[in-house]
Structure 1
Amino acid sequence: MALEITDATFDEVVLKSDKPVVVDFWAAWCGPCRMVGPIIEEVSAEYDGKAVVGKVDVDANQEFAAKYGVRNIPTVLVFKNGEIVNRQVGVSPKKVYTDAIDAVL
């Protein structure tokens, strides 16, 4: 299951991770986010142990959404060594997310 990431845990979970990290910025009221959610869960299961996969509820956690310029949701960011290496805005097929992770593994 994808981790729930908050503003309080973002630094530790995402920026200090020794593995690639996928972060799905979403909100409960967002229709496209509900389409991406199950894809992110599948990616989380497939990459368990190889990458960290998490979700940030932008309504409750706005600090890092603002810091990384997340203006539209869903936005999925891939981090490696604390730096953004990939950004997907909107709904994308699962392969787009897995290719982004594979590129940094």
Structure 2
Amino acid sequence: ELSQLREEQSNAKEKLSELHDLLYRRDETIRQLQQDLKSKEEALSHAYKVNEESAHLRNQHSILESKLSQQQTETASLQAKMDRVEYLMSQMMSKSGGNVDAGDTD
């Protein structure tokens, strides 16, 4: 009976050792999964930040396109005015025979 108890004790110690090994492996798996989760959370945070920066840049691009369009419109308007002034100047030059001071009597 004593030998049977010793055998049971030996089996129990072996089983306990196996359970400790299993527990250790599971703890390692948990640590690895936690590390993987942390890495993925950091990557996701970075992705959100990049997405926000991208949205900001798209907004700025839209604003700059609008300003460019406005400046192009203003430039076209000024060019039209300059063309009109040049036309009027040429009309005045042709009417005065090329002498701009023709009306001056000083």
Normalization by structure 2: what TM-score?
A: 0.21
Structure with the larger RCO, 1 or 2 (CA within 8 Å, 6+ apart): 1
Normalization by structure 1: what TM-score?
A: 0.21
Identify the structure with the greater helix proportion.
Answer: 2
Q: Who wins on radius of gyration, i.e. which is larger?
A: 2
